[in-house]
Amino acid sequence: MRMLTAVVPVYNEESILPELNSRLVEVLGSMPLEWRIVYVDDGSRDGTPRILADLAESESRVGVVHLSRNFGQQEAISAGLAVAPGDAVVVLDGDLQDPPEVIPSLVEEWEAGYRVVYAIKRDRKEGPVKRWLFSSFYWLLRKLSPLEIPSNAGNFSLMDRSVVDLINRMPERHRYVSGLRAYVGGPQIGVEFERAARYAGDPRQSPRKLLRMASDALFAFSDLPLRAASFMGFVVSGVAFVVLVDVLYKRLVTGEAILGWASVMTSVLFLGGIQLIALGVIGEYIGRIYDETKGRPSVVVARYRNLPAGSGPAALPRLDGE
Ligand code: UDP
Ligand code: MG
């Protein structure tokens, strides 16, 4: 029998975990598959680690990776993928916004031969501002990236073993998993679903963390911003050349007086602005290059439960201890 593993990143989700686990176990158990669950505790500070310990204690198919601190959602998902056993892995958020009941429809497409089945949010249960920001983000990502990254397809997806192995072998540290998943290619399909509201509590992805994820996605999957700087440079130099010809003509031929304080100021400010933007863009890339060259692991594991320690295709670095 084939095995399906659910990977769930969790950060301070004590009020959701019991409900999440029972719904997940019920759905997984209802399919003619062997199953496992891997919770990745992303350095939670509430009762989450204890609840996870209890869940793992009472069910050997539930495994836990406790990270040594909060590393971030995408890093937690990557850690889960690195240790998840099984012929396919389904990733879902731990706040029940991705309903476990959708999993069988993802499995169906996998059995029909698709290597990646991503769930598409039919409509977001978020406020208008967040919705607008998300749709602009996806619009920008589609415009900038040569890769076809589907809109409104987040973490919630099923990936075949072959895809998971490929993603695990990608050594990059700024990980936008939905982008890496699209990068692999092969037969991929989307399945629409109704995204639920968060079961309890506030989003754990703070605006700052979301912004970091968005910039990781944009800068990791596009080099267009870098090239846009040189494009702007060409346009501006072209305009400057025309103006120069005009200035020389007026000075040497017609002898008109110079009265252009306003035009000098605007062009100085304009050029200054463009240069700063270009520098900023270069900075974004250099910062990421710097991070990659440092070669630090993207997560550190404090402890495994019900998972062969250090196993998996990409053994994760471990803080020694129990
Ligand atoms: N999460 C995580 N690490 C973090 C932030 C969030 O593992 O630093 C988990 C969180 O517990 C949840 C999932 O990622 O299971 C989605 O987070 P959230 O609901 O806050 O994000 P959103 O719904 O805004 O995408
Ligand atoms: Mg959520």
Q: What is the pLDDT of residues 74-100, one digit of tens each?
A: 999 999 999 999 999 999 999 999 999
- What is the Å distance from ligand 2's center to 77 Cα? 14
Residues 114-143 have a mean pLDDT of 91
Q: Residue 257 region, left (φ>0) first, then alpha (ψ -120 to 50), else beta?
A: beta
Alpha-carbon torsion, ordered 32, 38, 44, 46, to 10 deg:
40
Nearest alpha carbon, ligand 1 atom 25: 205
Q: Does residue 311 register a pLDDT over 70?
A: no
User: How much is the pTM?
Assistant: 0.88
Say if ligand 1 is within 6 A of residue 145 CB: no
Query: What are the structure tokens assigned to 102, written together?
Result: 């959708």
Q: What are phi and psi of 141, to 5 degrees?
A: -60, -40
Token pair of 62, please? Answer: 């539930």
Interhelix angle 207-220/73-83, nearest 10 degrees: 70
Best probe residue, ligand 1, of 70, 73, 156 (max atoms within 8 Å of C-beta): 73
3-state secondary structure of 202: coil
Higher-pLDDT residue of 269, 282 = 282
Atom of ligand 1 nearest to the CA of 43: 3
Q: Is it the case that residue 65 has pLDDT exceeding 80?
A: yes
Can you give the pLDDT at residue 257?
63
Mean pLDDT of 57-67: 97
Q: What is the pLDDT of residue 309?
A: 61
Residue 223 confidence class, pLDDT cut points 50, 70, 90: confident
Q: Token digits for 228?
A: 């846009």
Residues 6+ apart with CB under 8 A from 117: 106, 109, 110, 157, 158, 188, 189, 190, 191
Which whole number is the average pLDDT over 128-145?
Answer: 92
For ligand 1, mutation pick of 11, 15, 65, 157 (most atoms within 8 Å of CB)? 11
Going from the Cα of 266 to the center of ligand 1, the distance in angstroms, rounded, reads: 45
The domain ranges of the chain are 3-202+296-305, 224-294
Residue-wise pLDDT for 157-187, tens only, equals: 999 999 999 999 999 988 999 999 999 999 9
**Average pLDDT across the chain, whole number:** 91
User: In this predicted model, which residue has the larger pLDDT, 268 or 105?
Assistant: 105
Enter the CATH code of domain 3-202+296-305. Answer: 3.90.550.10
Query: How much is the pLDDT for 23?
Result: 98
Percent of the chain with pLDDT over 90: 66
For ligand 1, atom 23, the nearest C-alpha belongs to 203
